[in-house]
Amino acid sequence: MSDLVKAIFRNRANRFIAEVEIDGEMVRAHLPNTGRCKELLIDGVTVYLKPSDNPNRKTKYSLHLIENNGALVAMYSQQASKIVIDAILNGKVRELLGYDIVESEKTIGNSRIDIYLANLDDDNNPVDEAYVEVKSVTLIKDGIAQFPDAPTERGRKHLEELISLKKEGIRSVVFFLIEHPNGNSFRPNWENDPEFSQTLKKAYHEGVEILVYKTENTLEKIELVGNSINFNLEK
């Protein structure tokens, strides 16, 4: 049984706060997705809120799922790396099978990369290291998932870090997790952020791997499903 609370989205007060209506009462909820999400956050759409058990929090709820074109879209972009880690541990990402170590958030250079993978040699030293940066994707245009939905200097720097790692001979992966069920392929959002898009193309040519997977979203859970899907890096 889901503990989510059904509500109606009314307004985005600021980057982190959504104003929603529960049984006629206006309530402020935390918005755990810093993207623009203009095509999702429309007055009158149905949303599902996750109650917080932290009594010191300013907002009692977080906006967890939103209905869009007949689909449930996951709004918790910060949870994307956890979803991917769970999938790796459960053997659902065939490109990333067989690692002894699966850790979240590893600092490298000036960045924190979302996932660190490695095997252990006979002396328990890490070998076959890999770094995976996860990006949550919710923007869909004509069935094509696109990232980012707003220019991201931080995202571009992550790609540069992956390029540097790859040049050192370390496996590097950028992992796009499509959290909108209507996305069936992926391309970078050249129109919105040409710098990120160009850097992604450069990264791929430098040997950084690109993986694209989708989630299945229900009121009970959000989980990675299926195999990696197609992407196109051209404008």
pTM value is 0.95
**Contacts of range 33-37, beta carbons closer than 8 Å, 24 or more positions apart:** 33/63, 33/75, 33/76, 33/77, 33/136, 33/138, 34/77, 35/77, 35/138, 35/139, 35/148, 35/149, 35/150, 36/149, 36/150, 37/75, 37/138, 37/139, 37/149
Give the rounded percent of residues in the chain with a pLDDT score beyond 70: 100
- pLDDT tens digits for range 45-99: 999 999 988 888 889 999 999 999 999 999 988 899 999 999 999 999 999 999 9
Where does the pLDDT of residue 21 fall: very low under 50, low under 70, confident under 90, or very high at 90 and above?
Answer: very high
Residues 230 and 186 sit within 8 Å (Cβ to Cβ)? yes
pLDDT digits (tens, 9 = 90+) for 206-219: 999 999 999 999 99
**pLDDT confidence band for 35 (50 / 70 / 90):** confident
For 148-164, what is each residue's pLDDT tens digit?
Answer: 999 999 999 999 999 99
* Residue 1 scores a pLDDT above 80: no
Predicted confidence at residue 102, as pLDDT, reads 97
